[in-house]
Each structure stands twice: as C-alpha cells, then as structure tokens.
C-alpha cells in the first residue's frame, strides 16, 4: 500500500486529486493539508509516505527536503505551468507534476516515486500548454463578468449560499448562472468546473484576478460600513 500525504491550499484541487488517486486500490491518502506547517507535521507523524505538495504553498524547501529524508519519505511537487520541473528535481525531490497532469499520469507518478524512481513531466505536456491556453482563452472570453465572479468563488471552494451572499443575490440566481457556465465550459458539476478552471492557465489567472477584486471590494465595503457606524455613534453621543 502506497501511503500519500496531499498538501495544497486549493481545497477543490485536493478533492479532485484525492478522487483520482482513490481509484487505485494500492494508493491510500492518509492526510490532506491546506498549508505547509500542517504538511510538515503530517510528514513527521506519518513516515514512509509519498508527499504530494503544491509549490504555491511556498514551503521552506531545505527544511522540507531534510524532513522527507529523515522520515524515509519522498516528495512530488505540483508545479505551476510557468515553473520548470528541473528546478524541483535539482532540489532533491523525486517527482514533478503540473496541475494539468492527467489522472493516469498522476497515478503513474505516485507509483514510480513510491517504487524509488524519479518522475518528471513528458515534454509533450509542456507543448500542450499553448493549446490549453487557447481553450482557456476561448472559455474566458465567453463567460460574462458575473459568471466569472461565480467561477472565481467556486474555485475558492464556496457553496451556492456563500456565493449568493457575497454577490448580494439569491441561491436560485446562482443556480441559473451555473447552468449557463456548465454549458459554456462543457462540465457537469462544480468540482469539474473548478478542475477545468485550474487546468487552463489563462482561465485560472482570470479567476484569481476576479477573486482578488471581490476580496478587495469586500474589504472596502467593510471599512466604509465601519466608518459610517462610527459617524452614527458620534452623532448619537453628541461628541
């Protein structure tokens, strides 16, 4: 049995990856971590594992590599499309995958690394990035601004009720928009939508930018509400 620790801040990507790995009866996910510190603790708690970690967590690489060595574990980095896999291999990790890696390649990577071998993406995967960006660009351009805001929140792991609250609308409106989004992207549910978005770099970047704008708007709105509340309190006290 190949034991796996999965570490990534994107809950929806963790769910998709776990779903793929669960299809192999010889792979068992024993821990899922949302940040690097939880990952470090899990490595110490469960020695002899394959650790799949996102480079986006920005762990302290030297510390991580030492911890893997002392716990008899092996690391697989989830690289972003703009990162070179060679960098991670030179740092002593035993495998590298991209977020757009196919399910079969992911399983094969875990098997190879668990067996003591090294895995890196095929050159063909690097060549596919341009084509995937074209698909992502077409979908991005088809989505309306409101639909993109919903996609951004889906990727963050928000449920319909939270999305409706943050976008100041109703759950039924969100459901209506999701049907349109599913048609435009060719997916059937929110998990597939999130994975599709993360799979295509241009679309993922657009969703991240919109998500940042939503958070900035919420911070500005909260600050304005706090200011108005203070003004009203001053008027009430007459000071």
Q: What residues in the chain have per-residue pLDDT under 50?
A: 123-130
Residues 8 and 115 in one domain: yes
Residues 116 and 143 in one domain: no
The predicted-structure confidence for 129-177, as pLDDT tens digits, reads as follows 445 568 888 899 999 999 999 999 998 889 999 999 999 999 999 999 9
Structurally, the chain folds into a number of domains equal to 2
Q: What is the pLDDT of residue 18?
A: 87
Q: What is the pLDDT of residue 122?
A: 64
Q: What is the pLDDT of residue 60?
A: 93
Please list the residues that pair with 5 across neighbouring strands.
31, 51
- Give the domain extent around 85: 2-121
- Asked whether 49 and 5 are in contact (CB, 8 A), the reply is yes
Residues 12 and 21: their CA atoms lie apart, in Å, by 14
Structure tokens at 2: 């190949």
Domain edge (last residue) among 121, 154, 176:
121
Residues 116 and 80 in one domain: yes
Domain edge (last residue) among 58, 87, 121:
121
DSSP string, 192-219: HHHHHHHHSHHHHHHHHHHHHHHHHHHH
Residues 108 and 151 in one domain: no
Positive or negative: CA dihedral 137, 134, 104, 188: positive
Residues 104 and 37 in one domain: yes
Q: What is the pLDDT of residue 19?
A: 83
Q: What is the pLDDT of residue 200?
A: 81
Q: What is the pLDDT of residue 128?
A: 47
């Amino acid at each position: 049995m190949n034991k796996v620790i999965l570490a990534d801040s994107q809950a929806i990507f963790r769910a998709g990856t776990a779903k793929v790995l669960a299809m192999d009866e010889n792979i068992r996910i024993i821990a899922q971590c949302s940040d690097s510190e939880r990952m470090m603790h899990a490595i110490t708690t469960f020695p002899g594992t394959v650790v799949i970690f996102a480079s986006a967590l920005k762990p302290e690489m030297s510390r991580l590599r030492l911890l893997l060595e002392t716990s008899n574990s092996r690391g697989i980095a989830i690289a972003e499309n703009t990162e070179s896999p060679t960098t991670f291999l030179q740092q002593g990790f035993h495998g590298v995958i991209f977020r757009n890696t196919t399910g079969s390649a992911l399983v094969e990577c875990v098997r190879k690394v668990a067996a003591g071998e090294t895995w890196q993406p095929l050159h063909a995967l690097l060549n596919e990035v341009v084509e995937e960006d074209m698909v992502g660009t077409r979908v991005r351009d088809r989505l309306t601004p409101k639909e993109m805001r919903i996609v951004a929140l889906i990727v963050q792991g928000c449920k319909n009720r939270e999305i409706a609250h943050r976008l100041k609308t109703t759950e039924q409106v969100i459901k209506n928009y999701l049907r349109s989004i599913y048609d435009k992207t060719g997916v059937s549910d929110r998990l597939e939508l999130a994975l599709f978005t993360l799979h295509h770099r241009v679309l993922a970047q657009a969703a991240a930018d919109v998500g940042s704008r939503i958070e900035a708007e919420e911070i500005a709105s909260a600050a304005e509400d706090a200011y108005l509340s203070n003004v009203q309190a001053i008027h009430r006290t007459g000071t």
